[in-house]
Amino acid sequence: MLAVARTFTVVGVAAQEVHVEVDVHSGLPAFSLVGLPDAAVRESRERVRAAVSNSGFEFPLHRITASLAPADLRKAGPGFDLAIAAALLAASRQVSAEALDRYWLAGELGLDGSIRPVPGVLAMAEEARRGGAEGIAVAAGNAAEAALVDGLSVVPLRDLGQVAALGGPALAPFDRAELTAPSSNGTGPDPPDLAELRGQPYLRHALEVAAAGGHSMLIVGPPGAGKSLAARRLPTLLPPLRREEAIEVTRIASVCGRPPPPGTLAGRPFRAPHHTISTAGLVGGGSPPRPGEATLAHGGVLFLDELGEFSRQALEAMRQPLEDGSITVARARHSIELPCRFMLVAASNPCPCGRGESSDRCRCSEASVRRYEAKLSGALADRIDISLTVEQPSPEALRLAPGEPSASVRARVSAAREAQVRRLGAGRCNAVMTPAETRRACRLDEPAAELLARSHTRLGLSGRGYERVLRVARTLADLEGVDRVGAGHVGDALSLRRRQPAP
């Protein structure tokens, strides 16, 4: 007798439907599993055998063949246990096969028949709804996450015994009223806030401009100058994610095994990979391809501390993603596309020892400083719009009252972003304007045009640099809510520009 259950496997950051076909027929007792299972999936046979016996069912002493279709897709993870066990029970007529047509199942089995949560159920729920399923059955711990997708009945299961009741009135679906409000940008009880940044008015200003225009930025300064403190607070300045964006971010977090607290949507992520990270770790890769930090930062901020220490290869791999907002990882077997629309914040010490040329304790050799500068200026040079140098705040500054909180800066940023959406279309910001859009959007008044023309010769601004200054000036005007770009905006944008090291 044959039975089919439906479940999913993760491809990239999305779910793909997988059919679990189980055939039970006479022959020597055996249990084989086919369809490119990995080690964890293959071991599923032992868990299923024990769980079936320990849940009051009978494990059929027949020849059992389980097939995971499509057969050419590599399957990974323990999430197939529940579907295999359910199909096995249906094939041996211990439960009704009818419910398996209507519900997708996913969960890991304990030997006692209990069902444990698995990563990626939000992705499965979205795929199940697209596939026309009536509902999904998942571990109780996954139910709140799956219920974020509307229009789908989510049945929480505690143990394998409940599969018999699936589709019947005895098993209540998850009540969406239990869902709490989506989380805001900060996570945890005491989220970081810009108010903690004291006495660094220009750094604050630069953060606000970066947030308002989606500009990537580079902060250079000695240790203790507040570089990572500032970067960590950047997500709190961005407008909250729209619901569909938040679901996408949550889905990515979920398939990577780091879901937000049950029932909440993820806020804007902040990712700060260490500089020893590999290229695959940063942009995604491996076989089967897994998302990297760039994808985990989707919708939020990717912070690269010590930019100059990252491997050249890893940084080069970031260029295309920064432009396109997505990464294509191509392997012999599969090619997947991973989303990665994030804001880049890079930080660096001013010289190898970190104290900086202005410090009298810095004794870095001329050649080593030169190498450091060259590496820094080469890294992602044409992808960074804003750069500034910071210093350790003075002791007096640290005693100042807390600065303006994130919420009020966020209000200005949101207004500026709305102006950009009106001008450029949904989901776009000044940082991604094409040259033609830049020309159209940045109408300069007389003094501004004169200032910019002078800077061309005097400051050695390149064509690309010129574009960047215009885009940043546009953001500054948006923050003020004015249509024309003025000389003040251009002057300000010029001071935020990225400079090249002296010859």
Partner 1 sequence: MIIGACDACLRRALLIERLAPRIERVAGRGGRGSPELLALEDDRLASAVGGRRADDSLTDARAASARDLRRRVDAARCWTTCRHHAAYPVTLLDLGDEAPAALFGRGEWAALAGLDPTTTATIVGARRASAYGLGVAEELGRMLAGAGIVVVSGLANGVDSRAHRGALDGEGVTIAVLGGGADVPYPRRQVGLYRRIVSSGGVVVSELPPGAASFRWCFPARNRIMAALGKITVVVEAAERSGSLITAGMALDLGRSVGAVPGQVNSWMSTGTNQLLVDGAVPVRDAQDVLDHLLGAGSPNVREPGPALDPQLRSILEHVEAGHVTCDGVAMASSAPAHVTATALTRLELLGYLTSGHTGRYSRTPMVAPETADAGLPSGA
Closest contact distance (angstroms) between CB of 389 and partner 1 is 4
Cα angle 218, 188, 404; round to 5:
55
Span from 4-12, 94-102, 184-192, 369-377 in contact with partner 1 (CB under 8 A) = 369-377
SS3 260: coil
Q: How many residues touch partner 1 (CB under 8 A)?
A: 44
CA pseudo-torsion sign 369, 371, 374, 378: negative
Contact flag: residue 388 with partner 1 (CB under 8 A): yes
Residue type for 395, please?
Answer: P
Contact flag: residue 476 with partner 1 (CB under 8 A): yes
Question: Which of 204/215 has CB closer to partner 1?
Answer: 204
How far apart, in whole angstroms, are the C-alpha atoms of residue 358 and residue 360? 6
Span from 100-108, 244-252, 409-417, 450-458 in contact with partner 1 (CB under 8 A) = 450-458
Question: Which of 89/220 has CB closer to partner 1?
Answer: 220
Question: Which of 200/250 has CB closer to partner 1?
Answer: 200
- Among the listed residues 114, 162, 455, 475, the single contact to partner 1 using CB under 8 A: 455
Contact residues for 243 (Cβ-Cβ < 8 A; gap 6+): 182, 265
Per-residue string for binding with partner 1, 183-222, x by CB under 8 A?
A: ----------------xxxxxxx--------------x--
> Which residue from 104, 22, 6 is spatially nearest to 60, judged by alpha carbons?
22
CA distances from 111 to 44, 82, 142 (A): 10, 12, 19
Q: How many CB atoms lie within 10 A of CB 354?
A: 17
Contact flag: residue 32 with partner 1 (CB under 8 A): no
Paired strand residues for 328 = 337
Contact flag: residue 378 with partner 1 (CB under 8 A): no
Closest contact distance (angstroms) between CB of 470 and partner 1 is 14
- Among the listed residues 69, 277, 353, 494, the single contact to partner 1 using CB under 8 A: 494
CA distances from 67 to 33, 139, 160, 252, 355 (A): 6, 23, 20, 28, 62
Q: How many CB atoms lie within 10 A of CB 48?
A: 29
SS3 347: strand
Restricted to residues 346-365, the positions that interact with partner 1 (CB under 8 A) are 350, 357-358, 360, 363, 365
Closest contact distance (angstroms) between CB of 191 and partner 1 is 24
Span from 5-13, 25-33, 151-159, 371-379 in contact with partner 1 (CB under 8 A) = 371-379
Question: Which of 30/397 has CB closer to partner 1?
Answer: 397
How far apart, in whole angstroms, are the C-alpha atoms of residue 411 and residue 406? 9
Restricted to residues 401-430, the positions that interact with partner 1 (CB under 8 A) are none
CA dihedral 427, 428, 432, 438 (to 10 degrees): 170
Closest contact distance (angstroms) between CB of 145 and partner 1 is 42
How far apart, in whole angstroms, are the C-alpha atoms of residue 146 and residue 129? 11
Question: Which of 374/421 has CB closer to partner 1?
Answer: 374
Restricted to residues 293-352, the positions that interact with partner 1 (CB under 8 A) are 350
- Binding residues (CB under 8 A) for partner 1: these are 199-205, 220, 350, 357-358, 360, 363, 365-366, 369, 373, 376-377, 387-391, 394, 397, 451, 454-455, 458-459, 476, 487-488, 491-492, 494-496, 499-503
